[in-house]
Structure 1
Amino acid sequence: MTTTTNRRTSSRAPRAASPAPVVEEREPRGARRKRETRARLLDAALRLMAEKGMEGVAINEITEAADVGFGSFYNHFDSKDAIYSTLVDNVFEEFADMLDRLAAGISDPAEVVAVSVRHTILRARHDPVWGRFLIREGFSAGTLSRGLGHRLLRDIGHGIEAKRFAVADPLIGFLAVGGTVLSAIAAELNYVIPGAAAAGVLEELGFDGEHIPERTAAMLLQTLGLKRAEAEKVATRALPVAEATAEED
């Protein structure tokens, strides 16, 4: 008699192989140190140049403030002019690019200017060193051809072309707007922010230091030709906020 052995066949699908673990690529130690040293040099240069200007700062002051050897400076920058140029790009160009992204969906030239003005003052409020550097270098050589100055001149021009602004002299309009923004930042840093050197002075003089970004934007829109009521309405619209700069008034 033949004996038949019954074998059970599994109906389950073959077990899938576990995915290979993802191995995070670690930044080489030398590259990380170089990046960190460069960042310390830039931070030190920004703080010193915001206080004394580019001409008033020596390379050895930058390296001492950054706690970096003097010779290491030249591993990152060819000269003091080179580190200054990098700072200008960081302060003016990168921030101006961010403003362009914020205003990309706004069709009203008046609101574009208001958003840029408010965000610039807010950025200075939250980063006083940045603000002081902007005050010192805001009208430096090249302002009209790059960074925040270039964008502002462009945005005023768009408003004139769209007949939203009534400005007889675009250059003087630009100077009026730019100068007022820098003055508003100076007021914020000197009189308004916690720990300001002259905190309380505005109140003693009978002035209100609240809502300076919106008030500045409203006044500038009036300077550019809007009626007061409309300028104030535009200047207090909901402010688009970048993910990386969640600034609240």
Structure 2
Amino acid sequence: MISAMSQQPPSRGQRRKLRTRMALIGAAQEIFAERGDLEVSIQQITEAADVGFGTFYNYFSSKAELLDAAIGEALEAHAAWLENLLSDVDDPAEVFASSMRLTGRLVRTRPRIARVLMSGRGALLAAPYGHAPHARRDIEAAIAAGRFVTEDIEVALACTAGCLIASMQLCTVAPEASAEDITDQTVLNVLRMFGMEDTEARRIVTLPLPADEPPSAAI
């Protein structure tokens, strides 16, 4: 039986601590998205978060730990967003393709999270958390269902990450270009690379996408 105490809502102090931690993470995400690094002082981070300097070390031991938390939070929010949007899709190949298409579009729809994902030191599809294990699961399920053909999951993930991030970078340096067209062409090529016939690959990349709601208010 779950105790009554475990069901109690967080106390005021716990809520305040959570808000402070999320303020620091939000400030780090903002700085990292703009700069691609955290080569700023802790003082600058705490000022951006509107948090006292001495408070920082109550939550993080270093800027590196804060950066890992900021990237991790962004990746987890991104993965949860995709999981929610695509929860009713049964075909793993469609889930995989739609995840890529939605992520590529973030360059226009959610530029902050897009910059964090692009600058995340290869974490988008290589980290043990966030979207990476979901992408691996979808590729493996598509192989098991006879939808994809690939001999090495690690190479497949690396190719996927490289293609996706490169297409997002292209959208960034060509602001007049259509992110939808660039992303969908990229996904079409990835599906072909995984052995899918052209007609079926084209059908998948023209499927309507679910409504694009923000992954998280924090990003």
Alpha-carbon separation, structure 2, partners of 1:169 and 1:32: 45
Give the one of 25, 28, 49 matched to 1:42.
25
**Cα deviation, residue 141, structure 1:** 10
Q: Which runs of 5 or more structure 2 residues have no equivalent in the other structure?
A: 1-10
Q: Any idea what SS the aligned residue of 2:196 has?
A: coil
Structure 1 residue 223 and structure 2 residue 193: aligned?
A: yes
Structure 1 residue 177 and structure 2 residue 155: aligned?
A: no
Q: Which stretch has the larger CA shift, 140-149 or 83-92?
A: 140-149
Alpha-carbon separation, structure 2, partners of 1:217 and 1:142: 15
- The Cα RMSD (Å) is 2.9
Name the counterpart of 1:4: none
TM-score by length of 2: 0.79
Name the counterpart of 2:107: 124
**Cα deviation, residue 216, structure 1:** 2.3
Contact (CA 8 Å) 1:44, 1:62: kept in 2 or not? yes
Q: What pairs with 1:120-199 in structure 2 (closer than 5 Å)?
A: 120-137=103-120, 139-140=122-123, 143-192=126-175, 199=176
Alpha-carbon separation, structure 1, partners of 2:124 and 2:187: 25
Name the counterpart of 2:54: 71
Q: CA-to-partner distance for each residue in 1:198-233, whole Å, 9 max, x for gaps?
A: x5xx6xxxxx76522322222211111112221111
Alpha-carbon separation, structure 1, partners of 2:14 and 2:21: 11
Q: Any idea what SS the aligned residue of 2:64 has?
A: helix
* CA distance 1:45–1:144, change in 2 (3 Å): closer
Contact (CA 8 Å) 2:95, 2:138: kept in 1 or not? yes
**Cα deviation, residue 128, structure 1:** 1.6
Name the counterpart of 2:4: none
* CA distance 1:99–1:141, change in 2 (3 Å): closer
**Cα deviation, residue 37, structure 1:** 4.4
Alpha-carbon separation, structure 1, partners of 2:77 and 2:49: 23
Name the counterpart of 2:89: 106
Contact (CA 8 Å) 1:138, 1:182: kept in 2 or not? no
**Cα deviation, residue 113, structure 1:** 0.8
TM-score by length of 1: 0.70
Q: Which runs of 5 or more structure 1 residues have no equivalent in the other structure?
A: 1-26, 193-198, 203-207
Give the one of 167, 182, 185 matched to 1:212.
182
* CA distance 1:138–1:121, change in 2 (3 Å): farther
Give the number of the structure whose residues are more often helix, by fraction: 2
Asked which structure has the greater RCO (Cα within 8 Å, sep 6+), the reply is 2
Q: Any idea what SS the aligned residue of 1:180 has?
A: helix
